[in-house]
Structure 1
Amino acid sequence: MKWKTLLFGLVLVGCSSQITATLSDDVASWQRYGEQRASDGHIVQSEQKLVMHSLSGVVTAEQYLAYLDGYQVGKEKYCAQSASMLGRIGKPYRGICDDINPFFRSDYNNARREW
Structure 2
Amino acid sequence: MKAFITVVLSSLLFACSTTAPITSTQDSDWNQYGFDRGSKGWNLETQEQLNNASDGQQIKVSNYQAYTAGYANGQMKYCQQDAYELGMKGEVYTGVCDSINKDFKYDYLRGYHSHTKDM
Change (3 A) 1:46 1:59: same
Q: What does the per-residue CA deviation read over 1:44-99, in whole Å, with 9 as the maximum and x for residues that have no partner?
A: 11000111454881111101100010001100100000001110111100101000
The letter for the 1-side match of 2:107 is: D
Counterpart CA distance in 2 for 1:31 and 1:92 is: 24
The aligned counterpart of 1:107 is 107
The aligned counterpart of 2:98 is 98
Counterpart CA distance in 2 for 1:18 and 1:80 is: 22
TM-score normalised per structure 2? 0.75
TM-score normalised per structure 1? 0.78
Change (3 A) 1:96 1:19: closer
- Structure 1 vs Structure 2 CA RMSD: 2.1
Counterpart CA distance in 1 for 2:51 and 2:91 is: 28
The aligned counterpart of 2:34 is 34
Q: What does the per-residue CA deviation read over 1:11-43, in whole Å, with 9 as the maximum and x for residues that have no partner?
A: xxxxxx987353311111110110011111111
The letter for the 2-side match of 1:100 is: I
Counterpart CA distance in 1 for 2:81 and 2:59 is: 31
Counterpart CA distance in 2 for 1:87 and 1:108 is: 5
Q: Give 4+ residue runs of structure 1 displaced > 6 Å after superposition.
A: none
Percent of aligned pairs with the same amino acid: 33
2:22 alignment partner, SS class:
coil
Change (3 A) 1:72 1:83: same
The aligned counterpart of 2:49 is 49
Counterpart CA distance in 1 for 2:110 and 2:69 is: 31
**Aligned partners of 2:22 and 2:33 also within 8 Å:** no
Q: Structure 2 stretches of 5 or more lacking a match?
A: 1-16
